[in-house]
Each structure stands twice: as C-alpha cells, then as structure tokens.
Amino acid sequence: METPDQNPIPRLGRLDEYLDWHAARRPTEAAAEENVCGVDWASLRTLVDATAAALQECRIQSGQRVAFMGPPGLSYWITFLACQRAGGVWVGLNPQYTARELTHVLTDSKPALVLAAGASAAISDPANLQSACQSLGLGPVQLGDSIDEIADRIGITSTVPRSADSVARSLGESGVALVVYTSGSTGAPKGALITQTGLIENGWWLARRLGLNPHRTLANLPVNHIGCVGDVCSTALISGGALVFMPKFDPRAAVEVIRDRQVEWIPQVPAQFQLMVDRGGLGAEDLGQVRCITWGGAPMPRGLIKKLSGWVPDLFNSYGLTECSGTIALTQPGDGLDVLADTVGAPVAPGLVAVTDEAGRPCAQDECGEIRIRGKHLFHGYLDNPSATRQTLTEDGWLRTGDLGAMDGHGNLRLLGRTHEMFKSGGYNVYPREIESVIEDLPEVSLCAVVSVPDDLWQEVGVAVVQADPSRVSPQDIETHCRQFLARYKVPKRFVVRNELPLLPVGKVDKSRLTDEVQKIDDAT
C-alpha cells in the first residue's frame, strides 16, 4: 500500500492549489465521478477555473458568501472548488432543511449568491429554497445535473474555458473557506467559520494516518456537514484520491456502488453501516477491494465491529468536531475490539488534545474531564456571534468542546458524554456513555441512549432507551446485565426497548427528542 511518506503531499496554502498539484502530476487519472459521469484531474481543473471566473463575473468578491443546495455530486464539488478559487466563502445548505431552517441559515450567512443543483430525490422539497430566498429578496441560480448543464446555467461554456490566470485569487485575512452550521441541539444553529488552513491540516493528517494515497472514496454525506467537506472531500483532494459520489444514501444502492465502482475507503456513520448490513445485504464479497472503513459521530456496536473486522483489513473509529475542521482523534491499524469499541484512538497530530478539569488543569490518566483542542485545525469563530465564540475559545487558544472524556495509559481517548448530559444521582456524577457502552455489549442490542429525568429522591435518574427486537431481549434482561458491570447508582431506573431510536441528520441519536418523549411518559403516569 502506498503511503504519504512514500509519495509525500506538501502542505500548500489553499485548497485549490491541490487541484493544480494533482492536475500537473496525474492529469488523466479519475478525480470524481457520479453515476456514469466522471472527470479526470485535468478536466476538473478546467471546469473549476471556468466556474471560478464566472463567479467573479457575478461580482463575487473576496470574503463574500456563496450558498449551495444540492446533494453530494459533481455540481457540488465543482462549485465548491470554484468558490475557493474565486476567494468566496462556501455555505452548504442541507437538502432536507425546511423553509424555516433555510431562512435562518440564509438570514444569518447573508450570501451574495445562492446556487441550487438540478432536480434530485435527495432534496426533500425544492419549494422550500425558493420560498426562503424570496422572503430575503434572493433568487437561486438553478444548476443542471450534467457538467455541461452546470456550465451553461452559471453562464460559462465548458468547451471554451477560461484559464486559471483569469481568476483573481484572494483570501481575506482570516482565510475562511466555508461556513458550517452546527446541528442546533442546544439552540439555534451557529455558523462556524472553517479556514483553509484547518481543512488542509485535517486532510493532510487524516490521509497520513489512514495511509491512503491515492484512493477511491465513497462520498454520500450531506454537503452542509464537515464530514463531507472536510473529512471526505478535502482529504481526497489533498491526497489525490477519486471521489465516488452518491446523491442520496440508500443501503442497497450503496452496496452496489462500493462493489461496482471499486471503492477503497468507506467513511460513514455507524447507522449507515448497520443499514447496509441489515437491509443492503452487505457481505465480504462486496468489499474485496476495500482498504479501510472509518466511522464517527456515534459509537459502533461491538457485534457490528466484529462482523466488519472479518471483511476489511483496517477499521478506524474517529472523533471530530465541526469547530476543529473534522477529525482530531483516530484509532490505529490493527487495534483490537476493545480499543475500537471503547475509545476513539489517539490525537491525529501531536499536542492537539488535552483532557482538563473545570479550571483547565490537565487531568490524570483515566480521570474524567472536558476535552479541549488547540492547533491549526481550529475554526475562526462563529459568524457574527462573538459571545458564543468567547464561550468556546479560551484566551490561551484552547477550544472547549463540551465533551467529557478520559485518556488511558496507551494515549487513547475514551468518550464519556457531553458536559450537559452528565447528571448527578444521589450526589454521584453519572456519565451516560459509560452505561450505553455496557448495554451495547449485549449481542441483541444495536444501539442505546441514556437520558436523565428528575426524581424526588435522587434528584435525577437515568432512563435507558434501547434499540433492539423486543421479542429477543427484555428490560429485565438488560437490567440484570447492567447490575453485573455497573455500580448501583449508575444502573438506569427504567429501561425501554424499541425497534428504532430517533436520529439526527448526522446519524447521532436525537437525545433531546428522546428526553422529551421520556418526560411526557413520566408526566402522564
């Protein structure tokens, strides 16, 4: 396997320079493809140059924002790179957004131009974008689905492209590349300002740690998510890999794409892997060419890890945040089941991660504390929100993640939950992730979420909501299992078994919704 050390990739100053780098060295190799349509590196550079020039003719100036709605595909990738080339700042819009959600993001980001991909099943309701734009006096530019349609609708001709020299490249002082809106689980979504340097650091280190250079990557995550723009697409761009786009995740179609398009790296959230196995028929015969798979955003059940480890050479659990431009911790090749299931590995770069107490002092080995991050990965702050920025970035340059964790003796980070998820029961600190891990050890359980509810005696108690077949495991079975491995105060006071748990768009359990549902049941009784 070729590694970055054998074929070193430099740290360049901006993302679009990697387009030039690879177009000069591998012009006829595949750079991206969607369905039967694909482009090599030389053609991709030509299209990006022409589109960037067209954006500047639309008077997109340095630092101005360009919003895009559409699925992961060639239209997204070409216009994203063109925006970087032209000095603009990218804002991805989730195709599943309602009109209200779109209005918030567009009002907050104030884009100078709104682009929309052609009709796609991945867009839940195209009228939502039109409605939100009209309310703000904007008009979206509708792009087609093919490369020529993209070029024509934005006002360029792909057969007579402008050269790179016709694009006046510039970046603002902050070097901001895109705005990514947080999920909003603790309030209205905030726009995180992600820099060119942050994306390059993330992609460079991730490619190095994964040992994939070049590679063919499945790209089907939402374009408004840092996992798509950062971890997947920027890493492929920097390392010279080819992106294999899927406009919408479908378990069976994903398995076919992985097999037929010779995908080598599969980055997904655990729920997607579970669906590909359960509903898509994923098996060892579909993964013969796959070098590695990675997951993040949520823990993966042990049973699924065991199954996948028998089919794929290398599995990687990862941990990252929007505000850190993507992945900041990753397991190592060859790590065993306990490391993959119970930790998110070691920091991808030296000195990147610390676990501290409330005063910012380093915690001892295996001691729980808040995870803090520093380094070139960090974002530039929240758009027009200095108060939220001050709450997140300390004066000495650390980012407070709000995540609780502990560092073990091997330098691996163990996640214990969110600071706002920790609760006190009878005076004891209770960390939901510890309980969830124990419950997910049961072979019948595919997923678990522990939330807290008020209690007259103990102040707060835990409720475990378990995703499993109710005919195969009962609440009593789960409680008995917990009492074998957890102190009494940690054992949830109630267990609920359900066929499915509600998920956020990024694949994480929607604990806010679960808490509301559990609380309503308690109030009714």
Q: 383: closest CA among 87, 108, 112? A: 108
CATH code for position 461: 3.30.300.30
In this predicted model, what pLDDT tens digit does every residue of 218-256 receive, in sequence order?
Answer: 999 989 999 999 999 999 999 999 999 998 899 999 999
- Helix, strand or coil for residue 5? coil
Q: Is the pLDDT of residue 206 over 90?
A: yes
Residue 163 has a pLDDT of: 46
Residue of higher predicted confidence among 502 and 141: 502
Q: How many Å apart are CA 495 and CA 289, to the nearest integer?
A: 42
- Cα 312 to Cα 292, 336, 485: the distances in Å are 6, 13, 31
Strand-pair partners of 320? 327
Structure confidence by residue, pLDDT tens digits, 295-343: 998 788 888 999 999 999 999 999 999 999 999 999 999 999 999 999 9
> Is residue 507 one of the residues assigned to a domain?
yes
More confident of the two residues 436 and 417? 436
Query: Is the pLDDT reported for residue 410 higher than 90?
Result: yes
Share of the chain above pLDDT 70, in %: 89
Domain membership flag for residue 320: no
Domains identified in the chain, total number: 1
Q: What is the per-residue pLDDT for 118? A: 64
Residue 423's DSSP bridge partners are: 430
134 occurs within a structural domain = no
Indicate whether 314 belongs to any domain: no
Determine the average pLDDT of the residues in 50-59. Answer: 85
SS3 of 453, please? Answer: strand
Element at 238 (helix H, strand E)? helix 235-239
- Omega of the bond prior to 214 within 30 degrees of 0, cis? yes
CA 289 → CA 213, 267, 313, 515, distances in Å?
Answer: 15, 15, 10, 42
Assigned domain for 490 exists: yes
Report field, pTM of the whole predicted structure over 0.85: no
Neighbours of 338 (CB within 10 A): 10
In a domain, 142, yes or no: no
User: Is residue 271 over pLDDT 90?
Assistant: no
Q: Please, which pLDDT band fits residue 122 given cuts at 50, 70 and 90?
A: low
Determine, yes or no, domain membership for 469: yes
**Is residue 504 one of the residues assigned to a domain?**
yes
> Has residue 117 got a pLDDT over 90?
no
Q: Closest Cα to residue 309, out of 255, 260, 273?
A: 273
| The pLDDT of residue 35 is above 70 | yes
User: Which has the higher per-residue pLDDT, 184 or 291?
Assistant: 291
Alpha-carbon distance of 443 to 185, in angstroms, equals: 30
What does the DSSP assignment read for 241-307?
PEEEE-SS--HHHHHHHHHHTT--EEEE-HHHHHHHHHTS---GGG-TT--EEEE-SSPPPHHHHHH
DSSP string covering 181-210:
E---TTSS--EEEEEHHHHHHHHHHHHHHH
Across all residues in the chain, what is the average pLDDT? 87
Look at residue 476 in the predicted model and tell me its pLDDT.
Answer: 96
Q: 77: closest CA among 24, 25, 132, 115?
A: 115
Q: Dmax over Cα atoms in the chain, in whole Å?
A: 75
Residue 439: give the domain boundaries: 421-524
Is pLDDT of 365 > 90?
yes
What's the average model confidence in pLDDT over 26-42? 93
